[in-house]
Amino acid sequence: MIVAMQEKATEDQIDAVIDAMTEAGVEVHRTTGESQTILAGVGPTASLDLSKFEVLPGVMHVHRISSPYKLAGRGWRPEGTVIQFRNGVKLGSERVHAMAGPCSIESREQIFETARHVKASGGAFLRGGAFKPRSSPYAFQGMGIPGLELMREAAEANGLLVVSEVMEIAQIEPMLPLVDLFQVGARNMQNFNLLRELGQVRKPVLLKRGMAATIEELLLSSEYILSGGNYDVILCERGIRTYETATRNTMDISAIPMVKKLSHLPIVGDPSHGTGRRDMVAPMARAAVAAGADAILVEVHPNADKATSDAAQTLYLDQFDQLMKELRLIATTVGRTM
């Protein structure tokens, strides 16, 4: 950490800051410039709330120098994390994957038809929500565990892996035998109790970036899972909230190369939530793969217009098939396969 003192800071103020840093277990190096004194602190600063130094008298700014995350940092595993699934699928490696399916599991017929098509088009993961609390209390709320069982069956029948959202700790256990990849939604990105529990599980976790979360905060949240011993974490960019209203969110494509730079964890792009519009999904999926995404996550539905949720951003099955063809071409241009 670095503490920059104000130009007119007194020696007493400087001493008081040095004392506070020392008390916090930090070793202090002082640089006395012509007009300004700078205190560099070395030690266990990752666990310190640095803002409390910022309001001490005479202090101008406090900067954190070391990353607040460790296990998620690129330096911890420079070669990158590759996550291996039971059927041999590897994520984070040379092959780009597709995760596709409806927003909500609605019926046996719906999920089986989707699964067949996802497989036929080259997808590796079947996605679908079983628990759907919605922003309005007056809307459809999901099929629950029976829905997940249907999805598991449909996935098995087609050689697909299952990814589905877990919303609270109590759902982890019943979901465990039914999913291959736990999804944590944007609204739960900072539900630290849930993250900590998922750190105890030995199944991969797909962690979505919160709508107002910085990339650093996303990495800090992943640290909760990693520090529990679950090293199979996949991150997901799904759009952030900005002032623009033409799209539902602004999909931050630059988060993809930035995560690659800062972290060793695989990163997935979700253009369905990222844009909220069916007609934007294909160009943004292409952009995600061109920028280096390890997988894309898209909503598809045999009868997209009648989907009980997220209808506007859900692809028709033939649109998904067309998209996969385009993505396969893009993947080769960035030295990958799909």
Binders of a copy of itself in range 119-178 (CB under 8 A): 133-139, 167-169
Q: What do you get for the CA distance between the two ends of the chain, in Å?
A: 43
- Closest to 139 (Cα-Cα) out of 129, 150, 148, 152: 129
Task: Return the sign of the alpha-carbon dihedral for residues 296, 134, 192, 171.
Answer: negative
Rounded Cα gap, residues 131 and 75, in angstroms: 37
**What residues between 250 and 289 interact with a copy of itself by CB under 8 A?**
250-258, 261-262, 274-280, 283-284, 286-289
Instruction: Report the b/e string of 77-90 with b at 16+ CB within 10 A.
Output: eeeebebebeeebe
Q: What is the per-residue binding string for a copy of itself in 48-87, x denoting contact by CB under 8 A? A: -x-xx-xxx---xx-x-xx-xx-----x------------
Residue 305 binding a copy of itself, by CB under 8 A: yes
**What residues between 193 and 222 interact with a copy of itself by CB under 8 A?**
193, 196, 210-212, 214-217, 220-221
Q: Which secondary-structure segment (H or E) carries 332? A: helix 317-333
- Length of the chain equals 338
**What residues between 5 and 34 interact with a copy of itself by CB under 8 A?**
6-8, 20, 27, 29, 31, 33-34
- Closest to 238 (Cα-Cα) out of 303, 307, 284, 290: 284
CB of 124 to a copy of itself, least distance (A): 21
Query: Judged by CB, which is closer to a copy of itself: 163, or 215?
Result: 215
Residue 46 binding a copy of itself, by CB under 8 A: yes
CB of 18 to a copy of itself, least distance (A): 14
Helix, strand and coil content of the chain, in percent to the nearest 5, comes to: 40, 20, 40
CB of 289 to a copy of itself, least distance (A): 7
Query: Judged by CB, which is closer to a copy of itself: 172, or 330?
Result: 330
| Contact range with a copy of itself by CB under 8 A, out of 118-126, 173-181, 200-208, 304-312 | 304-312
